[in-house]
Structure 1
Amino acid sequence: MNVLDSIAIKLLPIANKIGQQRHLQAVRNGLISILPLTIVGSFFTILLNLPITGYADFIAPYVTALDVPFRFTVGLMSLYAAFTIGSYLGSSYKLDKTTSGFLSMLATLLMVMPVNLVEGVDAAGNAIAGGRYIPITPLGSQGLFAAIIAALLSVEIYRFTKEKKLEIKMPEGVPPVVGESFAALLPTLFVVLLFWIPRHFFQFNLNDVLVFAISPLKTFLTGNNLFGGIITQFFICVFWALGIHGHAVLGPIIRPFWDQAILENAELFQNGMSAFDLPNIFTEQFYQWYAQMGGTGATLALVVLFMFSKSKYLKQLGKLSILPGIFNINEPVIFGTPIVMNPLLAIPFILVPIVNTILVYIVTALNLMPKMMVKPPFSIPAPFGALITSNWNIVALIMVFVCFFVSLAIYYPFFKMFEKIQVEQEKGELVTE
């Protein structure tokens, strides 16, 4: 048994427990479910910032209207996340998905303090009546962790009332929808009391407490801490090299930080902050377009090497893997080579993303290129993804190619050694035949 096999045997049970933990699964699935909203919202940020001479003046009369889709997608992402997370967690307990989602949304809204406005005008110049309004800022990226806790607690309350039969039962013959609605009355009351009283009578702000508690971890994982970026890449790649889906294991833990980081950057950029001054370097998009070009391990470079290999198998695998690799899908090369449990290729597979992370971090920290500020689909090829997410910065585009050639250089000696072994095996098979 080699070293990788031994490590995999020890880590696999732990990874499975983390990946199958119902609350972490609900968070991961819930956040993934709102991807269409955040991606579409990001496109409106791009639309407002196209690098075309005279474009800003042309759209100036429509800026307020064009900003609305962003505010009602990305700007309310915590509210949407609460619903989807609650729905997934409720489903795992075999509870009503809709009720679970609504209770989670209710809890999230109850943590928002309404503001009193006098009569005046809105941003578009329309007259507004005085009254109480819900600010959307706490429902954006800054309220994400509070929304997650609210969703998990609300569904647990719902589950508790079900298990203890604390519900109002309707007579037989009543439509199931009506019966489920009455069954949710008591859990709804409990959720209201739990989240309303502390916030509105004792001024307890759960979001502020959570922000304070997790700010060191957030800064470490997604701020400007190079060591945090290296550690993130290291563990994702190590899990993959062991045959364990790295993003499935670490995603439930790190994805909320990634989502909050890119959406915080997006909101600040939308509000007028320069992309160079944004707070978070290590967003998921940073890794996608530079550290993990072509997929985890930056395997696009390895696929290109395979295409020119002396090994018939590797050459064919390279041709089959190049198109998915361009769109950042690399399962064919990870499992087809295989890289999994392959000590020779596991070394560059882990090393390349770390080197790329360090290179691009240095360039970004020197303020030679901006931080990422929108969230396009992960499948966009790296050069285009880097341009779009960096507010059309040329240095960001150049760094994609720098990282690609650095990846080629690191993979090359390991590829040649692996190729030699593969060619000898193919010759041996021909002799045997």
Structure 2
Amino acid sequence: MTDAGNSGKSFKDKIGDWAGRFSGSRFVRAIMQAGYSVITFSIVGAMFLILTVLPQAFPIPGFAAWYANTIGRFTNLFQVVFNSTMGILALVFSGTFTYTYTKIYRDEEHIALNPLYGLWLFMMGMFITVPQLVWKGGMIQFVTSLNKNNIIGGGYAVSAGGITRIGSVGIFTGLVVGWITVQIYRFTIKHDWRIKMPSSVPEGVSNSFSALIPGACVAVVITLLNLILILAGTDIFKVLYIPFSFISNIADTWWGFLFIMFLAQFLWWFGVHGATITSSFFTPITLANVAANVRGAHYFFAGDPVNAFVTIGGSGATLGLAIWLATRAKSVQLKEIGRVEIVPAVFNINEPILFGLPIVYNIQLFIPFICAPLVSGAIAYIAITTRLVPKIILQQPWPTPVGLSGFIATASWKGAVLSVVCAISAFLVWYPFIRHYDHMLLMNEQSADAKKEAETPAEKPATADN
């Protein structure tokens, strides 16, 4: 019966159903919450990183010398603060994912799970995987290296950014460990594998013993997995680095990046929050890439290039469109929508346009909605990969207005200019389509007004009484 019902649905309905189920899945909801959690850390880290790159951001004669004798004396201290934010991304991102994932299961399956214990169990499992170990001489040994490019002591790889594996490179491993942790914790509690204490025992003590068996199971499973990989000459970080690096490299190509942008807009046209779905995949990649850029790499798909340069004004890159609707539209419908949308659009919020214009399911606006972000994205990609504009080294908050977002992302005035150029380019794609659409709606409004006047009975002239 279900298959027959699905087979009768239109393509639009099938896409909407699939995307809705995916975006509503527990895993994706937890990922999205994890993405939100790093915003504070990235902003704080960005503030202190900007202090270390001021000479590059403002190449003014004499400024570099003044900086070196004043603010520049404290750059190592600023670096410490940056390392304490961006340098623990794996713990923040994956820890929040685990906490939220545990909480979702607790609330939706009504299981006696404690999200805080889920978080601590994840931390234990994560740090089981962090040290680098090898099978040597018939025993497990810590890896040690004093190479200046690969300093490892007691199995822990360190750099100027702190412990390497709890930074951005550990995000994918953290997600896997978090998922395993939650599933083990959920399984053991669901099957009542726990030590129960008398009701007279304080709740804190009872909860501690209740989590003892789940904690032991997490430790055993993660340790066995780690042992198997070590005996095979590798570890979980190295194993996951292969697909992570492969996906990251694809996403950083021009065609991979534009495909991600196309998919987000395509899903939005069906009324599904495409940015939520696509960002659940690429957020770990962009976080890792922006940290790599700070260390000297040159990735385009880093930080938040989407809100800085691509979808300025919201999905579909509608900032210029909102301004035009509010100031130049002739139809009443579009002018009113523009007035409502113009302020939110400055902060990259455009639901009034998406559902009020409407853009969703509107075939007449499908082409500009898809193509405008592709054009602005292509311009940004070319400008940054050709080094005409500096690489992205910071992640700005997504509601940051046009211009300022590009400046923060690149710590350069060139990034601000690029952001404005991208917004203008996107509007040029929109212009012929929205102008035609506005004219069509105006004709319809005038026709409706004329019809209404024709149907209204004419008033009879007043006559004087005799």
Task: Report the TM-score when normalising by structure 1.
Answer: 0.88
Aligned position for 2:422: 403
Q: How far did 1:284 drift?
A: 5.3
Q: How far did 1:373 drift?
A: 0.8
Q: Please state if 1:72 is matched with 2:102.
A: no
Q: Which of 271, 277, 292 in structure 2 is aligned with 1:249?
A: 277
Aligned position for 1:155: 182
Letter in 1 for 2:437: F
Measure the CA separation in 1 of the matches of 2:245 and 2:154.
34
Letter in 1 for 2:77: A
Aligned position for 1:343: 363
Aligned position for 2:320: 301
Whether the 8 Å CA contact 2:118–2:182 is kept in 1: the answer is: yes
Measure the CA separation in 2 of the matches of 1:56 and 1:322.
43
Measure the CA separation in 2 of the matches of 1:283 and 1:134.
24
Task: List aligned pairs for 1:203-242, cutoff 5 A.
Answer: 204-221=234-251, 223=252, 225-242=253-270
Aligned position for 1:356: 376
Aligned position for 2:51: 47
Measure the CA separation in 2 of the matches of 1:193 and 1:116.
22
CA distance 1:132–1:11, shift in 2 (3 Å) = closer
Letter in 1 for 2:205: V
Q: How far did 1:175 drift?
A: 2.6
Measure the CA separation in 2 of the matches of 1:141 and 1:240.
29
Q: How far did 1:302 drift?
A: 0.9
Measure the CA separation in 2 of the matches of 1:252 and 1:237.
15
Q: Which of 104, 118, 123 in structure 2 is aligned with 1:105?
A: 123
2:360 alignment partner, SS class: coil
Q: Please state if 1:188 is matched with 2:207.
A: no
Whether the 8 Å CA contact 1:82–1:108 is kept in 2: the answer is: no
Q: Which of 130, 140, 143 in structure 1 is aligned with 2:167?
A: 140
Q: Which range is displaced more, 193-202 or 330-339?
A: 193-202
Aligned position for 1:123: none
Measure the CA separation in 2 of the matches of 1:17 and 1:366.
40
Q: How far did 1:117 drift?
A: 9.7
Measure the CA separation in 1 of the matches of 2:430 and 2:154.
63
Aligned position for 2:335: 315
Letter in 2 for 1:101: L
Unmatched runs of 5 consecutive residues or more in structure 2: 1-8, 107-112, 133-141, 146-152, 454-466
Measure the CA separation in 1 of the matches of 2:12 and 2:287.
29
2:403 alignment partner, SS class: helix
Aligned position for 1:126: none
Measure the CA separation in 2 of the matches of 1:71 and 1:152.
26
Q: How far did 1:180 drift?
A: 1.5
Q: How far did 1:376 drift?
A: 1.6
Q: Which runs of 4+ in 1 moved over 3 A?
A: 114-118, 130-135, 196-204
Measure the CA separation in 2 of the matches of 1:11 and 1:117.
52
Whether the 8 Å CA contact 2:303–2:396 is kept in 1: the answer is: no
Aligned position for 2:18: 14
Measure the CA separation in 2 of the matches of 1:171 and 1:41.
47
Letter in 2 for 1:36: T
Larger Rg: 2
Aligned position for 1:325: 345
Whether the 8 Å CA contact 2:402–2:420 is kept in 1: the answer is: no
Measure the CA separation in 1 of the matches of 2:181 and 2:234.
18
Aligned position for 2:40: 36
Measure the CA separation in 1 of the matches of 2:220 and 2:68.
48
Whether the 8 Å CA contact 1:289–1:382 is kept in 2: the answer is: yes
Unmatched runs of 5 consecutive residues or more in structure 1: 119-129
Measure the CA separation in 1 of the matches of 2:127 and 2:69.
38
Aligned position for 2:138: none
When the two chains are superposed, the root-mean-square deviation of aligned CA atoms in Å is: 2.3
Letter in 2 for 1:165: D
Measure the CA separation in 2 of the matches of 1:250 and 1:408.
24
Measure the CA separation in 1 of the matches of 2:154 and 2:417.
52
Q: How far did 1:381 drift?
A: 1.0
Q: How far did 1:7 drift?
A: 3.3
Whether the 8 Å CA contact 1:305–1:415 is kept in 2: the answer is: no
Q: Which of 278, 293, 302 in structure 2 is aligned with 1:283?
A: 302
Q: How far did 1:368 drift?
A: 1.2
Q: How far did 1:404 drift?
A: 2.5
Whether the 8 Å CA contact 2:289–2:299 is kept in 1: the answer is: yes
Q: How far did 1:416 drift?
A: 1.4
Q: Please state if 1:170 is matched with 2:197.
A: yes
Whether the 8 Å CA contact 1:28–1:252 is kept in 2: the answer is: yes
Q: How far did 1:131 drift?
A: 8.4
Q: Which range is displaced more, 138-147 or 372-381?
A: 372-381
Whether the 8 Å CA contact 1:339–1:345 is kept in 2: the answer is: yes
Q: How far did 1:103 drift?
A: 0.7
Task: Report the TM-score when normalising by structure 2.
Answer: 0.82
Percent of aligned positions with the same letter in both sequences? 28
Q: How far did 1:8 drift?
A: 2.2
Aligned position for 1:23: 27
1:352 alignment partner, SS class: helix
Measure the CA separation in 2 of the matches of 1:285 and 1:251.
10
Aligned position for 2:286: 258
CA distance 1:356–1:315, shift in 2 (3 Å) = same
Q: Please state if 1:91 is matched with 2:103.
A: yes
Whether the 8 Å CA contact 2:94–2:174 is kept in 1: the answer is: yes
Measure the CA separation in 1 of the matches of 2:212 and 2:395.
39
1:280 alignment partner, SS class: coil
